[in-house]
Structure 1
């Protein structure tokens, strides 16, 4: 096979699969265990949000450092930090989880940037969207079985939790140290472009980056609210299972990312109808979650499929588009800023929507998410056309 499905890239996707296996378990286990320890939705949201809030903060610097030293050198160092974070989960309580989430956030900022920059640099333009889609697909494959494993660990009294985290850290480290990104290594040392802090202004000044970042932020708030609170919301529903919901969502993301990878635009042009359709599906699906408290499990599980399809399309579509239209000298840093908005959104989904759920209900909170998605439908058409 050639291009994005050649063996060197398949090895990278396998590494991504191992790396994100821990989060597939933690995303379900932390809310469940936190609630058992008596934590409020607000506290659980803060613990969950600490991970991607930290990732967001470090992304732009990750892009610059990787640009200077090369993705493989950075990758090997960061895998050690990831191992330390997973080890902390094995020996601590809820307070230690916050520290572990922060360390995981730093690690993920560099890990995902190294892999995505390496893929973008190494693939020809016609295969770029497929590479990004397959990277994202690999990060969601663990979500198929991870939620069920998390529920099993939790029901078993957490006895095996520490060993599972340490095992994932070891396997990920072994896979990471054998990875190669040849072209990324050849291009290391480039330091063209402005400084990182100065690049933050481009979030507003650059119309391409601004529009994509707002869309990604809003979508990620919804995804974050789903990831954080579905394990708790499902406990209130008749025949509602968080494990099945998140498994369906992840399986849909994986299937859609693979089967629709050639449908993701890879021509550097803005496709408003494609974005409208995706955001409309997201709005309808999250409203189905809200309805499911009275309408039943059919709406609940249908929402998992719809959200999975939307999640499969939004990120690679916007990332691929920006890889064409951003100035090449600053592309790595600006892509880091864009991906940081996704991290911020997922973090806000827990931090902001937690108090909303505490003050109202999970159903009302998901209805608010649906309204946000509808607003983004109109925003995607607002302003002058976004074209390269």
Structure 2
């Protein structure tokens, strides 16, 4: 096999699988632990949101540092930080989780940027969408079994939680140390020192660059919905008759994995904006969120249907927008600007917990998810563009 499915890339995807396996467990354990200790939904949302809020803050700098030192050197350092964060979860309580979430957020900012920049640089243009899609696919595979494992640990013996976290930290560090990423061919140095050296100027591109603005708004909105679903579903599932958070998250992860692999060649990789493709994706997301909201009265079928629809939408949204931006962003500032875009995804997930936690406290989880459905419908309209945007 060659291209995005060559052995060197499969090793990178396996590293992604190991790295994100901890999150599939923590996303269930932390909300349940918080509720058991008397924390409000607002507090749980803040703790969970601290992870990706930190990731968002550091991503643009991660893109710049990786551009300067290369992905491999950065990757080896950051795996040590991640290992320390995972071990910290095992020796602290809920308060210590905040510190661990922040450390994990820093390491994730650099880890994901190093892997994605390495994949984009090493693959020819026609294979970029497949590489990014497979990266995302392997980051969601742990979500198939991780939630069920987390529920088993929670309902059984929490001592196993420490054993699992330490094991993940060790295996990820050892496997990642020998990772390799090489450019497929020499590329001209088109960096603009005035641009890459001024991060504040790069932030202004979020508003000035129409491609980055459109993709950023869509990613932010979609991620708010993903974040609200992921953070609060372990608690909402207890209100849905026969609902099970582990099965919900497993179905969502399976939908992501199958869709990412099955549709990887259908994701646009031509530098054009495909309005109806994006509108269909946002429609799936809106219907999925409303289905989850309606499950409180409609039953568990709507609960699990929402998981599948949201999973499919999640599988399509991120790799489509990332691939499109890899074509249309200026080459000299591409890494930094991609970092800003991915930061919008992080901010959205964080806001999903921070903003919708108070709504759930004041009204209900069902109302919070109805708000997500309305947001998805608004983005369906925003996705439409009559112009055909070609590579500049």
User: Offset at 1:192?
Assistant: 3.4
Decide whether aligned partners of structure 1 residues 348 and 76 sit closer, same or farther in structure 2, where only a CA change above 3 A counts: same
User: Offset at 1:162?
Assistant: 1.0
Q: How many residues align?
A: 388
Q: Deviations over 1:50-82 (max 9, x none)?
A: 000000000000000000000000000000000
Q: Are 1:199 and 2:205 matched, yes or no?
A: no
* 1:134 equivalent in structure 2: 134
User: Offset at 1:178?
Assistant: 1.1
CA distance in 2, matches of 1:34, 1:119: 37
Q: Are 1:265 and 2:237 matched, yes or no?
A: no
Q: Deviations over 1:159-208 (max 9, x none)?
A: 11111111000000011011000128977998535122210000000000
CA distance in 2, matches of 1:15, 1:129: 19
Q: SS at 1:42's partner residue?
A: helix
Question: Normalized against structure 1, the TM-score is what?
Answer: 0.98
Runs of 4+ in 1 over 6 A off after TM superposition: 184-190
* 2:164 equivalent in structure 1: 164
CA distance in 2, matches of 1:41, 1:333: 34
Decide whether aligned partners of structure 1 residues 386 and 376 sit closer, same or farther in structure 2, where only a CA change above 3 A counts: farther
CA distance in 2, matches of 1:20, 1:384: 38
Q: Are 1:296 and 2:307 matched, yes or no?
A: no
Q: Deviations over 1:196-235 (max 9, x none)?
A: 2210000000000000000000000000000000000001
CA distance in 2, matches of 1:334, 1:384: 23
- Tell whether the 8 Å contact from 2:271 to 2:389 is kept in structure 1 after alignment: no
* 1:75 equivalent in structure 2: 75
- Tell whether the 8 Å contact from 2:275 to 2:385 is kept in structure 1 after alignment: no
Give the root-mean-square deviation of aligned CA atoms. Answer: 1.5
- Tell whether the 8 Å contact from 2:273 to 2:324 is kept in structure 1 after alignment: yes
- Tell whether the 8 Å contact from 2:124 to 2:184 is kept in structure 1 after alignment: no
Q: Are 1:315 and 2:318 matched, yes or no?
A: yes
Q: SS at 1:181's partner residue?
A: coil
CA distance in 2, matches of 1:10, 1:201: 36
Q: Are 1:246 and 2:249 matched, yes or no?
A: yes
Q: Deviations over 1:108-133 (max 9, x none)?
A: 00000000000000000000000000
CA distance in 1, matches of 2:333, 2:253: 33
**Structure 1 gap segments, 5+ residues each:** none
* 1:85 equivalent in structure 2: 85
- Tell whether the 8 Å contact from 1:16 to 1:135 is kept in structure 2 after alignment: yes
Q: Deviations over 1:304-347 (max 9, x none)?
A: 11000000000000000000000000000000000000000000
- 1:211-290 matched pairs, under 5 angstroms: 211-290=214-293
CA distance in 2, matches of 1:244, 1:26: 16
**Structure 2 gap segments, 5+ residues each:** none
Q: Are 1:59 and 2:59 matched, yes or no?
A: yes
| Alignment counterpart, residue 356 of structure 1, candidates 356, 359, 369 | 359
Decide whether aligned partners of structure 1 residues 277 and 153 sit closer, same or farther in structure 2, where only a CA change above 3 A counts: same
